[in-house]
Each structure stands twice: as C-alpha cells, then as structure tokens.
C-alpha cells in the first residue's frame, strides 16, 4: 500500500494518476475535502480508501492500516499569502515532522513536498545542497514552514533517510481548486477566453522587461513521473529540486497559451501591487544536477509542448481531469 497525503490536491492527485497508469491502485488517500471542488480530482482515479487528515495520524500510529510500502506526503497549505502563522506552523511543519518520524521509525520510505519558496529572493542561488540551507531566507510564511522541515531533517539526521522535494512553478491539470494559487497557465486561459487578452505584471526591476521576469515552469505530469521513479528507488534519499532546470519568461508562457488556443497574441501589462513587489521572485531556475547524478531520468517537457497538452487535452476538454 502507498499512502498519498494531499491525495485529492494538485500534485497528490497527479501522483495517483501516475500510479494508476502503472497498474497500481492499492492507495490510501489522505486529505481534507471540505467544500472545495478538489474531490473531482479523485473521480477518474482508482484507490483503496480515503481518510480525513485529522484522523489519519492517530489511526496510523494505532496500526489501523496495513503496513505502508511508501508515504508520499504532498499534503500542506500551499498558499503563499496565508497569514495565519500558527496554522501554517502546525499544518505544514509539526504535522510533517510527526509523520516523518513515524515513517522513519517503521522503516517506511518517506517522500515530502518542500518548495522553491524556501529559496526566497534567490540571492543564495537555487542549489539543493543541504550545506546551503542555513543561507536561505524565505519571503513568506509558507516557504518558511517548508524550510523549517528541511532544517529539522538535516539537524536530526532524518534527511539521510527521507526525500524532500523542492517544487518550482508547477502547472497542469487538477489545479482547478487552487483559486489565486493556481498557475498563470490556468488563469490565463480563462482571461484570454473571456477578453482576448492576458494580463501580466510590469517589471519592478530594471534588469527585466515587462513580462520578462523568469521562472522555472514544470509540468505536473513530469513531477508525478519523477516521484514515481523515487518510489521505485527508495535508496535515493536527500534534498532534491523538482523543476525543468530551464528558466522561461512570463511572456514565453503567454505566447505558448495564445498559440495553443489558436489566437492572436495580446498582452496587457499592469502594475504590480506594492505588497507583492516586496516579496517577488524575478528569477528562478532549478539546479537539477543532484537528481540527475542520483540516476534519475529528468522529465523536462518543453514549455510549449506542456502548455499545448494542458490546453488541448484538458482545459478545452469536457472532462479536464487527470
């Protein structure tokens, strides 16, 4: 059995999609569905059972489930604008530590979702070397709680036994419930559909033109395949970036969207809110050498191909779910 926390969420449901594609459905889904539409991410998927995240840890520790072959911990509050620091500390940090501690004490491979938000403004680079963790200064509380877990894992020696993944700008099907935290590829599709134009932020930094700020965009299917490889290779542990390893501009993403939709390009540049400008990453690019050296194939779907797949097979499809 494989346990996937956040299994109804964006990356979590993509992991279940990947496992189902490999013919595996002995999966326990852990999540908190609430009143959102993320339950729809599970409709096309096959799995053994579902349990609410508030009941999961105590049930796990009481041995109410069969022994797990692996725990894929994607569950977290991923909102970079969440201001309830106590909630984030408990939900993202303490919950993860408790689950990791259980997994390691029972020799269960543990894969954890960290984030590129831990890199802050990128002044210290984007290298996933644990020796550089002390130099990182996240710009928001979400990134800080993910950073705290990585620091805990190194301090306690747990990082040598588990895998923590720093996801960069992930986009693709099943992100529809994320609201403001959904990708520009998703939100932009509907902007273009409704108005014929796409809004991008003007640059607040002289080094970048309007829309020229650069990101490492990574397709969610590539992330799922990478996690699949890690599940199959439990001896590969440590801290790893999960990105494309290539930086592209927001203008590139916009062009890809218009082409995929078969429409003439029309970009409108708008002022960046002052509060956002203070914590804005103008550049991200994952250093993927560490994962490559570990023997993992790098799934790197080109931006144009990924956007085309997303638009034509999902966003323009009657059933847009994986």
* 208-241: pLDDT as tens digits: 999 999 999 999 999 999 999 999 999 999 999 9
CA separation for the pair 302, 67 (Å, rounded): 39
Q: What is the mean pLDDT of residues 170-195?
A: 97
CA separation for the pair 8, 177 (Å, rounded): 10
pTM of the model: 0.96
**CATH numbers and ranges of domains, the chain:** 2-171+217-246+283-302 (3.40.50.720)
pLDDT band at 281 (very low <50, low <70, confident <90, very high): confident
Measured N-to-C along each axis, helices 95-105 and 141-156 cross at an angle, to the nearest 10 degrees, of 30
Checking 227-232 for CB contacts under 8 A at 24+ apart, the result is 227/15, 227/18, 227/72, 227/111, 227/165, 228/15, 228/18, 228/19, 228/22, 229/296, 229/297, 230/111, 230/163, 230/296, 231/2, 231/70, 231/72, 231/109, 231/111
pLDDT at 262 over 80: yes
pLDDT value, residue 274 = 85
Half-sphere exposure of 148 (CA within 13 A, CB side): 17
Provide the annotated active-site residues: 142, 178
pLDDT at 81 over 80: no
């Amino acid at each position: 059995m494989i346990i996937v926390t956040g299994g109804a969420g964006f990356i979590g449901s993509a992991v279940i999609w990947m496992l189902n594609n490999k013919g595996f459905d002995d999966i326990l889904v852990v999540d908190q569905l609430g009143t959102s539409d993320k339950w729809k991410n599970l409709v096309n998927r096959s799995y053994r059972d579902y349990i609410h995240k508030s009941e999961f840890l105590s049930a796990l520790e009481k041995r109410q489930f069969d022994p797990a072959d692996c725990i894929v911990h994607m569950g977290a509050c991923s909102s970079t604008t969440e201001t309830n620091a106590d909630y984030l500390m408990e939900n993202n940090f303490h919950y993860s530590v408790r689950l990791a501690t259980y997994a390691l004490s029972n020799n269960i491979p543990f894969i954890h979702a960290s984030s590129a938000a831990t890199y802050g403004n990128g002044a210290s680079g984007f290298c996933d070397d644990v020796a550089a963790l002390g130099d990182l200064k996240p710009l928001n509380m979400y990134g800080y709680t993910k950073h705290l877990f990585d620091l805990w894992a190194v301090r306690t020696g747990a990082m040598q036994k588990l895998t923590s993944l720093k996801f960069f700008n992930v986009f693709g099907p099943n992100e529809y419930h994320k609201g403001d935290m959904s990708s520009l590829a998703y939100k932009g599709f509907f902007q273009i559909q409704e108005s014929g134009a796409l809004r991008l932020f003007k640059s607040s930094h002289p080094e970048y033109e309007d829309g020229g700020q650069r990101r490492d965009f990574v397709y969610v299917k590539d992330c799922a395949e990478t996690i699949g490889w890690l599940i199959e290779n439990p001896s590969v542990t440590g801290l790893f970036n999960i990105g494309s390893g290539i930086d592209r501009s927001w203008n590139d993403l916009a062009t890809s969207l218009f082409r995929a939709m078969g429409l003439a390009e029309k970009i409108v540049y708008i002022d960046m809110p002052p509060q956002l400008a203070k914590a804005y990453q103008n550049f991200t690019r994952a250093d993927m050498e560490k994962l490559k050296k570990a023997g993992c194939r790098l799934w790197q779907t080109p931006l144009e191909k990924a956007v085309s797949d997303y638009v034509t097979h999902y966003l323009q499809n009657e059933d847009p779910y994986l």
